[in-house]
Amino acid sequence: PMGETVVHVHDEILNQGYAETSLMLLYHCNLGYPVVAEGARLITPPAEVIPRDDAARELFDERGDFLSPTDGFAERVYDHRITGLDTPASASVVNPGYEPTGGIAVTVTWDPSQLPRMWQWRMQGPGTYVCGLEPGNCGLAGRAAERAAGDVESLTPGEKREFDLSIRISLGADAAALAAT
């Protein structure tokens, strides 16, 4: 809506074919400076969090903290599997120290019955200091591997699925309120 600090996304995916087909969907919401900066932190919904590899396991307890850019930083990816949540899920990156606004945050909100996973991608190297908040219904290994793992949803001919997502920017007192959670 004009004048608001939010973007709403509503997708409808329809299988117009004659055979059942895979449905793998992931929304890439990649954030950088000034939201992602030293002193920022990540706030996520309750979930089982699974590190993708050894690099992610190495800093598992610090996955929500943002330090200064680090030479040689290896990307870290975490699979947040959300279960039992019957309200919208939200993940925020909050930088309470950002001036001149007195704080800045970006919040991604989605329906976990539509998108039960959120991938957290972190790359904190100089010049590539970003964080991805990526709600989805699938893994990252590709169709063949996801099928083998039994992790692929499908659409029958004529079936339609709907997905909703919003991305909100908060400044000042609104960002500070998020930081306090």
The tens digit of pLDDT for each residue in 101-149 reads 899 999 999 999 999 999 999 999 999 999 999 999 999 888 888 888 8
Residue 50 in tokens: 């699974």
Sequence-ordered strand ranges (E) for the chain: 6-14, 21-23, 29-31, 41-43, 48-51, 76-81, 89-95, 104-110, 117-125, 128-136, 153-155, 160-171
Residue identified by tokens 């930081």 is 179
Q: Which amino acid is at 28?
A: H
Cα Rg of the chain (Å, integer): 17
Nearest in space to 92 (alpha carbons), one of 145, 35, 47? 35
Backbone angles phi, psi at 158, to 5 degrees: 85, -10
Q: What is the pLDDT of residue 159?
A: 97
Specify the higher pLDDT residue, 151 or 22.
22
Over the stretch 16-47, which tens digit does the pLDDT of each residue have? Answer: 999 999 999 999 999 999 999 999 999 999 99
Instruction: Please say whether the dihedral angle defined by the alpha carbons of residues 80, 84, 90 and 95, taken in this order, is positive or negative.
Output: negative
Report d(CA 60, CA 77) in Å as an integer: 10
Q: Is the pTM of this model over 0.85?
A: yes
| Sheet of 6-14, strands arranged across | 6-14, 160-171, 104-110, 89-95, 41-43
Nearest in space to 77 (alpha carbons), one of 32, 123, 137? 123
